[in-house]
Amino acid sequence: MPGLFSPIHLAGKELANRILVSPMCQYSAEDGCAGDWHLVHYGALANSGAAMLIVEATAVEPRGRISAGDLGLYSDACEEALGRVVASCRRHGTAALGVQLAHAGRKGSAHVPWQGGKALGPSEGAWETIAPSPLPFDEGWPTPREMTPDDMRDVRAAFVASAERALRIGFDLVELHLAHGYLLHEFLSPVANRRTDAYGGSLENRMRFPLEIAADLRAAWPEDRILGARITGSDWIEGGWSDDDAVQLARRLQKLGFDYVTVSSGGIVPKVRIPADPGYQVPFAAKVKRETGITTCAVGLIAAPAQAERIVANGEADLVALARAFLDNPHWGWAAAFELGAKVRRPPQYERAAPELWPGATISRELD
């Protein structure tokens, strides 16, 4: 069996293969509530052939949204709307289901990407953003308010409350977002964190607040369900967060009882040159896996089945998470199984299109 399609045990869950659908913001919610777009979008991806579908970065409070279109899990209405989507995916899909909990920090209060992605103006519904230090994300962005102890208490409580809502909804996995330049990454990175109290300065201090939230989630989330984190392997800027820092953070998360980490990079500042070659972030995941032993997921321009198989088979990562590859082909897992000689579960309504039942599956790929 190809390594990519071998099962893996995490917490009390067995995943049928090593493929995850990565969280992908859709910017299509209303006041944080999932709608028909999410029902259709996630309904398709729940039958993608991936073992796990992780719902997009989901804000734990309204000011933690990137845009007004961000998904949230901070109210009863949010919980009910997302619960409807999850129930449909559970009823008709084959993938296990997870959600990524996040707070945008200083990168919040922005236009959706197809409207430019810039900061909202005062007349455009802008809201106050918070951050570890009063440093704007970029020129033209407002200066965030430096977080107080009360802010930290409120954000910690918001993460726990969202995790409790995720548990009631019935998610199999919660992923803590510690990357991409959002609030908890802002605490970790010396580029964005200039505090002089116990939450700034040394690596230990900069990790303190994110690890407090991690410990809160570990206490709130059942041990028989999967708990993970997306961390960053590099800020891609001199003096920023490094792969050695990622190893230290992964060790601390492992000690707290986290089941896996996904290793991404970038996002703390704009206009940084990132060598976006195929699999460009895989070496970060490989280093974290090698030096800590924690279950590790690779992400970043992974698109071809043979490429994903090499990552797993070579031991560079235990799992791979794909994003735009699934937007391009919502049945990417089916195509990968065909190419690598494996099988994946399909909904019964689609079984007659499987290669063993329909010659056209082979014919169409031979024509390609």
Catalytic residue positions? 182
- Alpha carbons 94 and 345: distance in angstroms, whole number: 7
Place of tokens 């799992």: 319
- Alpha carbons 9 and 354: distance in angstroms, whole number: 27
Q: HSE of 231 in the Cβ direction (CA atoms, 13 Å)?
A: 34
Is 182 in contact with 103 (CB distance < 8 Å)?
yes
Is 240 in contact with 186 (CB distance < 8 Å)?
no
DSSP state of 350: G
Phi-psi map region of 109: left, alpha, beta (phi>0 left; psi -120 to 50 alpha): left
Is 68 in contact with 151 (CB distance < 8 Å)?
no
**354 contact partners, CB below 8 Å, separation of at least 6:** 343, 346, 361
Is 227 in contact with 257 (CB distance < 8 Å)?
yes
Radius of gyration of the chain (CA): 20
**Of 46, 55, 150, which is closest to residue 101 (Cα–Cα)?**
55
- Alpha carbons 38 and 87: distance in angstroms, whole number: 12
**Of 48, 127, 132, which is closest to residue 334 (Cα–Cα)?**
48
- Alpha carbons 25 and 22: distance in angstroms, whole number: 10
Q: HSE of 227 in the Cβ direction (CA atoms, 13 Å)?
A: 22
- Cβ-in-10-Å burial (0-12, 13-18, 19+) of 98 comes to buried
Residue 12 has which token pair?
């009390």
